[in-house]
Structure 1
Amino acid sequence: MSTYNRSQAAMGPMVLAMAIIVGILLLMALVVNWRTVEHIPSVDYAPHAQAMASEADFPVYAPEGLPEGWVPTSTNMSTDGGASWTVGFATPSDMHAEYLITGDAEAAASAAPGEAGGTVEAGGLEWRHHAADSEGDRALLHEGGDGEFLVVSGSAGEEELERLAGSLQER
């Protein structure tokens, strides 16, 4: 017959086991919290701006002086069938805005979704406002006098799109 009695059991092993479990749970919570911090990768669009200025046969505009919170996330330049350059941004309100400069009227029209409406002035240029399309993207379109088309579009609000448009400076 066994002489073990549960009333004589010590609490020490149980407290140790609970401390280990709580420690593991705290470590898991820290890892999950650390991994949920958003990190938006940033790109440098200056090399494409310089290359575009040498390739295009029209004036090239590039964003300058955007306030904190604007993160350039992508840049893409193409010289097939005419020079075009696109720069994508994450905005301070965590939306998307994109800038396109091209000499191709069709490419500009397809980048400016929605119905054309009134005009707005930003950065000393007049922009034609395009209302939100079925996906919620809106756009501003400027037709330059030297064959260039500037399009600022995305899911960002009108105020942020106008801020991006206003930041465009001729190179």
Structure 2
Amino acid sequence: MRRFTQGFYGYAFAMMVCLAGVGVFLLVTPQSRTEHIPKVDYSIDVANMRRDAPYQVWSPASVLANWVPTSSRMTKGKDSEGKTTVTWRLGFATAKRAHALIAQSDERPAAGFANRMANSDRPQGSLQVDGVIWEKRFREDKNQRSLVRVLPDVTLVVTGTAQWDELSALAATLKQQTKLT
């Protein structure tokens, strides 16, 4: 009995007991093999934006098939001119499990907001989505594609690691919402 409590044999025996315990633990612990993506309900943020934003808000008319809304965040801040701004970011896991984000703000200058959201200030052509022209931007080192649309009262940016077809599909779902009073 003494040889299992001292020296190399004691160490080896203790290690085998520990490994056997870990093995039993792994066998009896339930393991989920299904993907879990946290889903958010962004309808409250849409209502708050429609009430608080000084511009008409753009939101998806519907969630695309197999897409999951994963984040929604409304913030108020100050732009470079000291004016209060309202920004909303809505993130999705796409059907191909890439990331896509809609960002909109009345921040001025509009180019500053667009450049920050797109991580690029260099247009690379344009793309027509449902008859509307969007400016294309691509940042290779981040694998980030962006569609930018500057309107008189709001700047829209659809961006992420999703491919152009998925970003275009998301941009096509955007509909202007009426202002709540």
What TM-score, normalized by structure 1, do the two folds share? 0.77
Q: Give, in whole Å, the separation in 1 of the partners of 2:114 and 2:64.
A: 26
Q: Give, in whole Å, the separation in 2 of the partners of 1:124 and 1:56.
A: 26
Q: Retained in 2: the 8 A contact 1:124–1:166?
A: no
Aligned to 1:52: 49
The offset of 1:64, in angstroms, is 1.7
Consecutive unaligned residues in structure 2, runs of 5 or more: 1-19, 79-84
Q: Secondary structure of 1:52's match?
A: helix
Aligned to 1:8: none
Q: Encode CA deviations 1:41-86: one digit per residue, 9 max, x unaligned.
A: 1101111111111212222100122322110000000122200000
Q: Give, in whole Å, the separation in 2 of the partners of 1:97 and 1:37.
A: 22
Q: Give, in whole Å, the separation in 2 of the partners of 1:139 and 1:130.
A: 5
Q: Give, in whole Å, the separation in 1 of the partners of 2:64 and 2:90.
A: 16
Matched AA of 2:139:
A
Q: Give, in whole Å, the separation in 1 of the partners of 2:118 and 2:46.
A: 21
What aligned pairs does 1:73-84 form with structure 2 within 5 A after superposition? Answer: 73-81=70-78, 82-84=85-87
Number of aligned residue pairs: give it: 145
Q: Percent identity?
A: 30
Q: Retained in 1: the 8 A contact 2:100–2:160?
A: yes
**CA separation of 1:110 and 1:53: change in aligned 2, threshold 3 A:** same
Matched AA of 1:112:
A
Q: 1:137 aligns with which of 115, 133, 144?
A: 144
Q: 1:41 aligns with which of 38, 43, 57?
A: 38
Q: 2:157 aligns with which of 147, 151, 157?
A: 151
Q: Retained in 2: the 8 A contact 1:97–1:154?
A: yes
Aligned to 1:28: 27
Q: Secondary structure of 2:169's match?
A: helix
Aligned to 2:125: 118
- The answer to whether the aligner puts 1:169 opposite 2:172 as a matched pair is no
Aligned to 1:90: 93
Q: Give, in whole Å, the separation in 1 of the partners of 2:130 and 2:137.
A: 18
Consecutive unaligned residues in structure 1, runs of 5 or more: 1-20
Q: Give, in whole Å, the separation in 2 of the partners of 1:162 and 1:133.
A: 19
What TM-score, normalized by structure 2, do the two folds share? 0.73
Aligned to 1:66: 63
Q: Encode CA deviations 1:135-164: one digit per residue, 9 max, x unaligned.
A: 1111000001x3200000000111001111
The offset of 1:123, in angstroms, is 4.1
RMSD: 2.0
Displaced runs of 4 or more, over 2 A? 27-32
Q: Encode CA deviations 1:88-135: one digit per residue, 9 max, x unaligned.
A: 100000110000010112222210134311111224432100023311
